[in-house]
A and B are shown apart, each in its own frame.
Chain A
């Protein structure tokens, strides 16, 4: 909390190497993310999930848009594509359809995926393109200095909402579920093991799967809204995140100061775009 002296005891043991180092472009470290940012945790969970799945890493491609989360593509030692702002999904759609045996993962932020890229999100979900979308939601544009985003809660302060936000935000869980995602989960960066598990599930399900990661941005959103450091936000998640699997996505709104739902909301099977396309081609061949 502001004014309160910060206790910053040095950690007793700093591992020299990241346990998932084999998946990282270590020559690119240190990364650009701020201390206390949730992006490192989200990335770690993803790497642990990949490790758990044990896939051939040549079959995995990561696609990002632009922003702090967009930099994930630059740190993973995989085929990785850092595309244009908002266009990770259509790029990933082309990639997946051109090379169907690839596991395509889109890793990006709330602004990238739901403001400038919002149209692509609903259509990729509607088509049920077989890919996993991991959205790190920190309620603002971190990279550009803390502007209002499509998930910024009402009354929250941003550089472009200096008097408090008066635009209603998206509930991403509800949006993804309504657009047709076959798997929808939300966790916070505090729930690292469960987040990892959700990523494993999302990656191994076929169809358009979606994991929202609620994450602190202490440098911008946290500071401007007096949420303290990354650790304080973790405390906030511990107090306010309520795990309720199978809850109605409609009820997954996030309102500052109030409890919010996390867990697995949707998990179902549905024919993917490629399956439908192939069925159509088979039908065509049968007719001839």
Chain B
């Protein structure tokens, strides 16, 4: 067993990046591999300082391909492992993120989003990697992605991310952004953070089938050196973990990987509703944009407009039911995000004509102003007649 890390507790003043690092340590993360990138650096720097103090392992790899690969390897070594990056590194990590999905490796990846495409705006905010979080690695899969709107939430959701990654044996993404990452706020760290257990085989090695799932579709995990001598491959495999090169085996495996996540939405779907009870317009937003949207909502209320806010905390799998219920009772929806309409596509899909959807978009480099959001609200009210 890795040593129980010494965690901070009590009230601290820290930024969102540092809160991600502390959340990871509180959750029992003892391995962190990364490559330097703005605006993620504070996470890696904090981990480089903290992990050696608590018997953990920090390594700065040669690139993000290697960082993600090392995280997957470390998880098979039996520890809780994490990496953090921003857009360009996120692109490189997609390869081994796919390996983690296919081999059902629990791990956590934080993406501190910045302006993109390409090198884009290294020091300025963006939310343009949301679809990449969903579909960035090749093939069809489901992944869990959480979007914090504050340093406190960066801490809390990183803790949750570790628990969910163990529960479902899937990589979990913490989709934060440059503003949350660099914003200093009060972060309250509880005395005791429960460490999520790894599901272990219940049978002796001779009887163990490494990819035979339990009833909930998640198989127990035998790590290296535990005597199970299993084979793990990114190829399509059967319950023994051996390559199975046919369409039926592939369909069976990919469907299970998807189903094991989708069947348990209520376990990981988090959201916040503000003022939706009497709302005629609902703003749908997430991460830092949701905080601006909150300000815009108050502005609108002062003007006598009935506006509420649905803040998505879990962005993937997309919370269809939650958004549908809101879409059913309002006259219009306003989506606020720092890209040109990614989550908005999902909102439109789910709203499915029940209410008009207006996007308030910005390509990146700054957060919205409440006034911009307000004009979106006025526009949708016009659309709704």
- B-contacting residues of A (Cβ < 8 Å)? 25, 27-28, 57-59, 61, 63, 73-74, 77-84, 86-87, 89-99, 101-102, 119-120, 123, 277, 280-281, 284
Contacts and interface: CB of A to CB of B under 8 A. Distances in A.
Nearest to B102: A84
Given A102-B225, A120-B65, 9 more contacts: A25-B242, A84-B95, A94-B73, A94-B77, A95-B74, A97-B31, A101-B225, A119-B62, A277-B52
Contacts of A82: 231-235
B289 interface: no
Interface in B204-248: 223-235, 242-243
A48 B11 CA distance: 58
B59 interface: yes
A102 B224 contact: yes
B72 A91 contact: yes
Interface of B: 30-31, 33, 52-53, 55, 57, 59, 61-63, 65-67, 69-79, 81, 95-96, 98-99, 223-235, 242-243
B5 to A, nearest CB: 14
B53 A284 contact: yes
B74 A80 contact: no
A82 B98 CA distance: 13
A105 B49 CA distance: 30
Most interface-central of B59, B62, B96, B228 (chain A CB within 10 A)? B62
Given A79-B228, A80-B231, A99 B52 contact: no
B52 A90 contact: no
Nearest to A288: B53
B31 A57 contact: no
Nearest to A120: B66
B77 A95 contact: yes
Nearest to B230: A79
Contacts of A284: 52-53
Contact of A95 (B61, B76, B234): B76
Contacts of B231: 25, 73-74, 80-82
B55 to A, nearest CB: 8
B53 A94 contact: no
Nearest to A57: B229
A87 B66 contact: yes
A74 B70 contact: no
B95 to A, nearest CB: 6
Q: Which of A77, A82, A98, A123 has the most CB of B within 10 A?
A: A98
A94 B70 contact: yes
A80 B233 CA distance: 8
Nearest to B71: A94
Contacts of B233: 73-74, 81-82
24 contacts: A25-B231, A58-B225, A61-B225, A79-B76, A79-B230, A80-B230, A83-B73, A84-B234, A87-B99, A90-B33, A91-B70, A91-B72, A93-B59, A93-B66, A93-B73, A94-B70, A94-B71, A94-B75, A94-B76, A95-B77, A97-B70, A102-B225, A119-B62, A281-B52
Contacts of A84: 69, 95-96, 98-99, 234
B210 to A, nearest CB: 10
A58 to B, nearest CB: 5
A284 B52 CA distance: 8
Nearest to A119: B62
B100 to A, nearest CB: 10
A149 B323 CA distance: 52
A58 B227 contact: yes
A181 B230 CA distance: 29
